[in-house]
Amino acid sequence: MRGNYSLRWISVFGLALLCSQALAVTRVGNGDDGADLEGAIPLTEGRIFDARDEAVKLVRNLNTAGVPGLGKLLPELLYSPMYLAKKDVKARLKSDQADAHHDAAENVYARTFAESHASTRFFPAATKLDKDQLVALHIHEALHRALPESIREDESKVAQITVAITTPDSTHDQVAAATASVLPHEDRVRLSAASAVAAPESDGALVAPGPDRLSKPSQLGYRLRVFGDSPNATFKSNANQVHSLYSTFHPFGGRNSAFGMAVETGLVKLGSKTVMGPLFLGGDLRLWTIRDFDFGLRGGTTIDATAANEIKNGLLGRDIGRLSLFARKTSGLIYVDNNVSVIFPGKTQQTLGVVTYDYEFKTAFAVDLHLGASLLGGRLRVGAFGEYLLSKGFTVGGGAFPTYDTGAYRIVSAGPEAAFELDDLVLTVAGRWIVSTSEGISYDTMADLFGSGAGSGGLTGAVSVKF
């Protein structure tokens, strides 16, 4: 998490840097007797484990993979096994002597071997560190394994790069400059020639970006949609608000993939009445990652079986099936999210007096693009989106009224969006307004309350908890 690091911890690393300059070059190596491994347990949860995700997020946002010398930092952070020793050990090794490695009582925080894929051993003293300090510790230990052999055991140089990465408001260029200043010339040339690539190596496996999303991909939240009137529309559903509860659970999949299930239901305000709304059931599957793009499928169906009669008896009563293919990327300060959706045909009926009308909806397609800035280490996203929806329309007929075909129509909309994460709390707000539409058409014609909404669009706000 950028921008919120303890000044004390930065000063510790800074002091470590100064101290290590005064000391002879300290070499970290396989000099311990392995006693600290006795009784160690694999770390799979807890604060130290979660801090690794924050460290990964920080490193990704700085795009360290593009910095000569730091190409292996991200995979070392992601894949290094972590253990928690049962007992503290005193700082006896030369590698422990830097202040970054131990507390005031000289209890060591962590150790690692300066070689690729080595594990990181944490000690109970590390559990007293706050989140920012743990993030810096993760990065420091990973640097010992990731940096070129010529400098990875040099405590002062490792500390210098750690400070550059963890300093608040640090930038990619600052990290690159700090690394270049400590990297020997011959290593700088060799690594630059190899050309840093965006995707870190990882035994050929594709790494799913956005570990912050995958480490806590599940959500539980409340959403409010307020729809605007569409004065030029010839058909109006009278839906003006939807209050809903939603959840997205991802119990399946690994750290690099996730398959989740989504549920949403709530109350709909129709005119002055509030009635029970439909039920949405869906799921999403993150398929794969390539060149820092997340690809996945999202789909679901809105079922009106649970809805009140005022919803069921009319266009809003249609069951809607939707399938979307999404591609998203966060690169530095920019996020981009593309979705291509198909809304499947469906039917509904409406009885008015003694006449029953049959509605048959045809296929619709939607393409939307989200673009914005990812700030504060990805905690704040501010941007805008646009959507082009093309529907083949629907037919309606009943009684003496012959089947009428509305024909195809389009709806183009746009609006701002923002999302803010405070630890596990997520706040989102978005606006949607129709920019262009076929004559007499509004989102009421689509009758997709949980999707595109109603009327001319409107505002959506949500608050949720990630877990």
Partner 1 sequence: MSRMLLVLALATVALSACGPFGEELHTLNAKVVSIQVLDGADESTFQQDAYTVGPASRLLLRSENLMDKTSSKVAKSARIRLYFPEVKDGSQWKNALKVCPLTRQWMMLATWTHAHPFGPPGRWARDGGDYSEAGCMKPATFVPRVEKPSTNPDVAQEVTPASVEFDALQYMNDFVVGRSNDQNFGLIVVSTETIRVQGDKGSFRPTFDVDYGTWTWNP
Of the pair 365, 404, the CB lying nearest partner 1 is at 404
Q: Return the closest-CA partner of residue 461 out of 432, 427, 433.
A: 427
Q: Taking a C-beta distance cutoff of 8 angstroms, is the pair 325, 337 a contact?
A: no
In the complex, what is the shortest distance from the CB of residue 299 to partner 1, in angstroms, rounded to a whole number? 28
Per-residue mark of binding to partner 1, 306-345 (x: CB under 8 A): --------x-------------------------------
For partner 1 (CB under 8 A), the number of binding residues is 26
The half-sphere exposure of 400 on its side-chain side, counting CA atoms within 13 A, is: 0
How much helix, strand and coil, in percent to the nearest 5, is found in the chain? Answer: 25, 40, 35
Q: In this chain, which stretch among 16-24, 27-35, 132-140, 400-408 interacts with partner 1, using CB under 8 A?
A: 400-408
Q: Taking a C-beta distance cutoff of 8 angstroms, is the pair 212, 198 a contact?
A: no
Residue 9: Cβ within 10 Å count: 20
Of the pair 190, 236, the CB lying nearest partner 1 is at 236
Q: In this chain, which stretch among 31-39, 247-255, 394-402, 414-422 interacts with partner 1, using CB under 8 A?
A: 394-402
Of the pair 269, 370, the CB lying nearest partner 1 is at 269
Per-residue mark of binding to partner 1, 46-65 (x: CB under 8 A): --------------------
Of the pair 205, 408, the CB lying nearest partner 1 is at 408
**Per CB under 8 A, which of residues 227..286 are in contact with partner 1?**
234-236, 238
Q: In this chain, which stretch among 103-111, 186-194, 242-250, 434-442 interacts with partner 1, using CB under 8 A?
A: 434-442
Query: In this structure, what is the dihedral angle of CA atoms 126, 132, 133, 139, given to the nearest 10 degrees?
Result: 100
**Cβ partners under 8 Å of residue 379, min gap 6:** 1, 420, 421, 422
Q: Taking a C-beta distance cutoff of 8 angstroms, is the pair 291, 324 a contact?
A: no
In the complex, what is the shortest distance from the CB of residue 393 to partner 1, in angstroms, rounded to a whole number? 9
Q: In this chain, which stretch among 23-31, 40-48, 351-359, 372-380 interacts with partner 1, using CB under 8 A?
A: 351-359
Q: In this chain, which stretch among 66-74, 167-175, 280-288, 395-403 interacts with partner 1, using CB under 8 A?
A: 395-403
Residue 355 sits in the site that holds partner 1 (CB under 8 A): yes
Compute CA distances 288 → 149, 268, 269, whole Å. Answer: 32, 37, 40
Bridge-based pairing of strands 273-290 and 293-303 is antiparallel
In the complex, what is the shortest distance from the CB of residue 239 to partner 1, in angstroms, rounded to a whole number? 12
In the complex, what is the shortest distance from the CB of residue 269 to partner 1, in angstroms, rounded to a whole number? 15
Of the pair 128, 410, the CB lying nearest partner 1 is at 410
In the complex, what is the shortest distance from the CB of residue 440 to partner 1, in angstroms, rounded to a whole number? 5
Residue 401 sits in the site that holds partner 1 (CB under 8 A): yes
- Binder among 445, 452, 456, 460 for partner 1 (CB under 8 A): 445
In the complex, what is the shortest distance from the CB of residue 316 to partner 1, in angstroms, rounded to a whole number? 11
**Per CB under 8 A, which of residues 146..205 are in contact with partner 1?**
none
- Binder among 13, 280, 357, 450 for partner 1 (CB under 8 A): 357
Q: Return the closest-CA partner of residue 417 out of 365, 364, 368.
A: 368
In the complex, what is the shortest distance from the CB of residue 388 to partner 1, in angstroms, rounded to a whole number? 20
> What 8-state DSSP symbol labels residue 89?
-
In the complex, what is the shortest distance from the CB of residue 401 to partner 1, in angstroms, rounded to a whole number? 4
Q: Where are the beta strands (DSSP E) in 291-400?
A: 293-303, 320-331, 334-343, 346-352, 355-361, 364-375, 380-391, 394-398
Phi-psi sector, 327: left (phi>0), alpha (psi -120 to 50), beta: beta
Q: In this chain, which stretch among 185-193, 194-202, 325-333, 401-409 interacts with partner 1, using CB under 8 A?
A: 401-409
Fill in the amino acid letter for 106.
E
Q: CA-to-CA distance for 452 and 455, rounded, in angstroms? A: 10
The single residue listed with the structure tokens 């910095």 is 67
Q: In this chain, which stretch among 87-95, 253-261, 391-399, 455-463 interacts with partner 1, using CB under 8 A?
A: 391-399
Of the pair 396, 434, the CB lying nearest partner 1 is at 396
Query: In this structure, what is the dihedral angle of CA atoms 152, 153, 159, 162, given to the nearest 10 degrees?
Result: 30
- Binder among 80, 406, 437, 452 for partner 1 (CB under 8 A): 406
**Cβ partners under 8 Å of residue 236, min gap 6:** 229, 230, 442, 444, 455
Extract the tokens encoding 166.
Answer: 């963890």
Q: CA-to-CA distance for 467 and 451, rounded, in angstroms? A: 24
Extract the tokens encoding 301.
Answer: 């169906």
Q: Which residues bind partner 1 (CB under 8 A)?
A: 234-236, 238, 314, 350, 352-355, 357, 396, 398-402, 404, 406-407, 409, 438-441, 445
